Structure 1
Amino acid sequence: MPAELSYILFLLLRMAVAAAFVVSASVITERSGPVIGALVATLPISAGPSYVFLAIDHDAAFIAQGALSSLPVNAATIFMGLTYVVLAQRHSVVVSCGCAFAVWIAIASVIRMFDWTLIAGLAVNFIAFGICIPLLAGYRHVKMPLVMRRWYDIPMRAALVATLVAVVVSTSGWVGPKISGIVALYPVVFSSMMVILHPRIGGPPTAAVLANSAWGLLGFGMAIAVVHSAVVQFGSAIGLSMGLATCIVWNLTLWWNGRRKRLAH
């Protein structure tokens, strides 16, 4: 098989695998309500496949540097979420999503200008979440209406994440780990939920999913820090597995704590 054809087929396979993960998680998110949906949405279901495929093509040092660039981008995502949540209470999907996307792009552009350390990345995350979590608290408790799925929902989500994977994998060799780490963390799941759910069920219920995601995103940031530290010590496979385990344990802890509080009342 020619090398070019082999590369294209392997890229298409990667895109299909990543799309399957995101579509499955999105369907679970819609059917489980804002709390469980937020915990599922903050698992690394779009960034995870991107990093796995980067690890296939690059060494552990590349993955560690990419994770270091991804860490402050997590702060951009929570500010994106806050922007959407506030605007979605009264404004259209175009205004709410447009402003949220602009905030993410602006913050990511600033992040790209600096060389980050682990301590600086963690500090930015804790400051960002310290600001955003209290501001999001008042928007969390909204009943999720029944979601009627349209024929184009799944193809749209699959196309979004497949495009992200294609861009990350195809350009990683010449843009380097910093840009790859930033692009890999673009919040595909949040974006698709905002664009698809807002016109269908309204801004406040859609915003409730993102508002409930704040604590989960904090754990995701810690998982990125784990990946950065672990891949150098143990290799990419173990390091990425440890990052995934961090996300799962963190979100299960959040779920158990929330359930315990509900039973107590």
Structure 2
Amino acid sequence: MPDLAFLLPLILRMAVAASFVVTASFITERSGPVIGALIATLPISAGPTYVFLALDHDAAFIAEGALASLPTNAATLFLGLTYVLLAQRQSVLTSWGTAAIVWLALASLARLVHWSLAAGLLVNVIAFAICIAAQARYRHARMPPIARRWYDVPLRASLVAMLVATVVSLSGWAGPAISGILALFPIVFSSMMLILHPRIGGPATAAVIANSAWGLMGLGVAIAVLHVAAMHLGSAAGLSLALAVCVVWNFSLWWISRMRAKPAARHDARCRDVTKSNQGARQP
């Protein structure tokens, strides 16, 4: 018989984390690729996982885990790039499967290196520079209406619940490095790819992923903040500061995109007014 003192808290943690991801995914589907990408790159999967790890381990464990998460975040950038390029023409299984293999290969290689904070930040900057340029042409696509299917919520909830259960259960055995890698497993991206691609097509789903690079860069900064703050201020302060960095970063990206969209909207309105006036002038 499983120990109920362990099993019941684990089930609660799985349910809480799954509810975060499901809610964020629903918002993403209704808001278009830009806002959807900003929602997807909030720590809605890694955040609850790290909170639960902090309940079971000390601040040194969290700090070391965050250090291992830094290069893993760079691997997620390349996962996104791989998917975006393949999704233009390939099926969902080919696109996601190949991207997942790329992530696993890069995460496995990263595990072999003893990372410093500077090295972890550098590899994120390099990955960001490569991916943001390669994905630029795929960032704009119309998000068609989405008809829900019965398995959407169970699939998303089960994916993130399994991640939380795996990380929490194995953290004592695996240690902080592997726990930090597992905490950054791209559950949100994977669920979006697997669910949205068959319904709205590869290019539209790829647009959401392509817009995520800037948000992932902010997540990398937040992970670095978590590492430093956990060492000096403790886990609670580190997690709070990391969340604040993510929220402020993504809100800033949203505000910038909105400011850039206003001149284009005014230009389109003027064009429509000119067209209407010309049509009125041609009428007898």
Structures share fold, TM-score greater than 0.5: yes
Distance in 2, Cα, partners of 1:181 & 1:209: 25
Distance in 1, Cα, partners of 2:260 & 2:80: 25
Distance in 2, Cα, partners of 1:98 & 1:173: 29
2:52 aligned with 1:53: yes
Partner in structure 2 of residue 205 of structure 1: 204
Distance in 2, Cα, partners of 1:230 & 1:52: 14
- RMSD over aligned CA atoms reads 1.0
Partner in structure 1 of residue 214 of structure 2: 215
**Secondary structure of the residue that 2:112 maps to in structure 1?**
coil
Runs of 5+ consecutive residues of structure 2 not aligned to the other structure = 265-284
Distance in 1, Cα, partners of 2:171 & 2:94: 32
Any idea what the Cα deviations from partners look like across 1:37-93, whole Å, max 9, x if unmatched?
A: 100000000000000000000000000000000000000001000000000001111
Q: CA deviation at 1:94?
A: 1.3
Distance in 2, Cα, partners of 1:111 & 1:215: 22
TM-score, normalised by the number of residues in structure 1: 0.98
Any idea what the Cα deviations from partners look like across 1:166-216, whole Å, max 9, x if unmatched?
A: 000000001100000001100100000000111111000000000011100
Q: What amino acid does structure 2 have at the position aligned with 1:39?
A: L
Alignment CA distance shift 1:233-1:197 (3 Å): same
Distance in 2, Cα, partners of 1:149 & 1:112: 38
Any idea what the Cα deviations from partners look like across 1:118-156, whole Å, max 9, x if unmatched?
A: 000000000000111011110001000011110100000
Q: CA deviation at 1:232?
A: 1.2
- Listed as ranges, the matches of 1:1-265 within 5 Å are 4-265=3-264
Q: CA deviation at 1:114?
A: 1.0
* Rg larger for: 2
**Secondary structure of the residue that 1:148 maps to in structure 2?**
coil
Any idea what the Cα deviations from partners look like across 1:211-257, whole Å, max 9, x if unmatched?
A: 01110000000000000000111110110010000000000000001
Distance in 1, Cα, partners of 2:53 & 2:79: 25
Distance in 1, Cα, partners of 2:240 & 2:43: 11
**Secondary structure of the residue that 2:135 maps to in structure 1?**
helix
TM-score, normalised by the number of residues in structure 2: 0.92
Q: What amino acid does structure 1 have at the position aligned with 2:5?
A: S
Q: CA deviation at 1:264?
A: 2.6
Distance in 2, Cα, partners of 1:3 & 1:163: 17
Q: What amino acid does structure 1 have at the position aligned with 2:125?
A: F
**Secondary structure of the residue that 1:32 maps to in structure 2?**
helix
Identity of aligned residues (%): 67
Distance in 2, Cα, partners of 1:9 & 1:165: 14
Q: CA deviation at 1:4?
A: 1.4
Aligned length: 264
Distance in 2, Cα, partners of 1:241 & 1:38: 22
Q: Please identify runs of 4+ aligned residues in structure 1 that moved more than 3 A.
A: none
Distance in 2, Cα, partners of 1:238 & 1:11: 23
Distance in 2, Cα, partners of 1:262 & 1:15: 39
